[in-house]
Structure 1
Amino acid sequence: MSDPRDPKDANGNVEYELDADAAESSAAASPESPPEVSSAAPPTSLDVPALTQQLARALAEKDELRQSLIRLQADFANYRKRIERERLEDAQRAVARLIAELLPVLDAFERALAAHDDATYEDYRKGFELIYRQLWDALARFGLERIEAEGKRFDPHYHQAIERVESVDHEDGTVLEVLQHGYKLREKVLRPATVRVAVHPAGAAPKPQRRANGGN
């Protein structure tokens, strides 16, 4: 006969009875987790006018920066052009100084050739002429030109008159003779031609004037 206090059943298994108060206490001790509530703030309405102003300011700053970049690029391009122009001008001035120093050498060659015009010095003259021509050709490649003067109208930009000679056979102001050749380098006068100029005697009827052509 089984003991009513024995927790085993007829088959020998242990049976447990839960006290109602204990069950309620257990349920109270471990309540179900409440549903998770999002911590994000509820969406607010956008301030469209403020955003529009910010966008306008950003676009204005962008345009200002773009204009500044364009100005900087233009300034740099102008700077490069100025540097190149100055370098070219410096080189041209250096060439002009060198050629100006060589002009007396050309004068010496011309005087030497004019002084030895007889047949005795023919071979000597030919060699001298060859050297003179080589020197002249080298200088001409750099742009050296001789100023034409004889028979031209006197031009103070290209000619320097050291004597005025009365003449009724020439127009007043005509260059009669070149005493020293003048030269120009790329239209810039290195040395004016030294010349004698015709002038009409007092009371003589002047001849018709021709069109001036002094620098050619």
Structure 2
Amino acid sequence: MFTDAKMRDEALLRECRSPGEERGEGKLREGTDVHGRRGGGPTRAELAACVAGLQEEMEVLRRRLDEAEALAESRKKLLEEMEKELAEKNEESARFRADFHNFRQRTERDAARLRELAAERAVTLLIPVLDNLDRAIAAAQADDPLLKGVSMVRKQFFGALQELGVSAITCDGAFDPAVHEAVALVPVQDPARDGQIVQELQKGYLLGGKVLRAAQVHVGRFQADSDSEEE
């Protein structure tokens, strides 16, 4: 950029000289134009002053251009720093959101677990009351006027336990060691009843699919008659 300006200045100076001066034939006479004519044309001093003014303006423009480039570079660096800081803030915000999401999930799991433990403890304490109601119903006479009332209380009480997620273990069919406790093996004559529950001694209960208390039962065991074995 500086070389182009210098070349333009030199061209302008060459235009300001007469042909004879370029060949070293002398200087312009005072009061004559570049072609040696007298008249109202600019003098060499005026042209030199014009060129000097132009050079000065160009120098000012170059300085302003340099300042503008320096300012642009400074703002570019500032913009890069702001973009970097914004990226860091976005990354930090993303980590914070992920941590908060994990914390909320963990809190919800812990709260659900606490509710399960509280319900399990409450039900464990209440099941013996249900057992006593069952014993009272089993021991009452059919014509006892209190039997109907106790049966209604038992039904209402078990309904409240069902609201907490309690369910009774079924004791019809095959023995299941996961939910049944075999108290004794009872001989049976029917081979189809081998391994089947033949009697329920104590009810068992589940809470949300988890065994609170296994049902105590008698399990059938097939034994062939001695006469059949001899034959």
TM-score (norm 2): 0.61
Aligned to 1:189: 211
Task: Tell me the distance in 2 between the aligned counterparts of 1:159 and 1:138.
Answer: 24
- Post-superposition CA distance 1:155-206 (Å, at most 9, x none): 12111111112224234321111110000111111111111112233799xx
What is the aligned partner in structure 2 of residue 166 from structure 1? 187
Structure 2: stretches of 5+ with no match in the other structure: 1-61, 227-231
1:107 and 1:61 map into 2 onto residues whose CA distance is 68
Cα 1:61–1:102 shift into 2, 3 Å: same
Paired residue type of 2:219 = V
1:145 aligns with 2:205: no
Where does the alignment leave 5 or more consecutive residues of structure 1 unmatched? 1-40, 205-216
Cα drift, residue 50 of structure 1: 8.0
Deviations 1:50-108, CA, capped at 9 Å, x for gaps: 87666445434422321221121121122122212211221221111111111111111
Kindly provide the amino acid, as one letter, of the partner of residue 126 in structure 1. Answer: K
Q: Which residue of 2 aligns with 1:86?
A: 110
Moved more, 170-179 or 47-56: 47-56
Amino acid of the residue matched to residue 201 of structure 2?
A: L
Higher helix share: 2
**Structure 1 residue runs of 4+, over 3 Å off?**
47-58
Q: Which of residues 77, 97, 102 is equivalent to 2:126? A: 102
CA distance in 2, matches of 1:57, 1:155: 70
Q: TM-score, normalised by structure 1?
A: 0.65
Distance of 1:162 and 1:64 partners within structure 2? 67
Secondary structure of 2:120 counterpart: helix
Alignment partners' CA distance in 1, 2:139 and 2:128: 16
Change in Cα spacing, 1:54 to 1:113, as seen in structure 2 (3 Å) is same
Q: In the alignment, is the contact (CA less than 8 A) between 2:199 and 2:218 conserved in 1?
A: yes
| CA–CA distance in structure 1, aligned partners of residues 73 and 195 of structure 2 | 85
Distance of 2:178 and 2:73 partners within structure 1: 73
Partner residue of 1:32?
none
Identify if the C-alpha distance between structure 1 residues 126 and 203 changes in structure 2 by more than 3 Å, giving closer, same or farther: closer
> Which residue number corresponds to residue 10 of structure 2?
none
Would the alpha carbon gap of residues 203 and 71 (structure 1) be closer, same or farther in structure 2, given more than 3 Å must change?
farther
Higher relative contact order (Cα pairs below 8 Å, separated by 6+ residues): 1
* C-alpha distance in 2 between matches for 1:69 and 1:202: 76
The corresponding residue for 1:75 is: 99
Over the aligned positions, Cα root-mean-square deviation in angstroms equals: 2.7
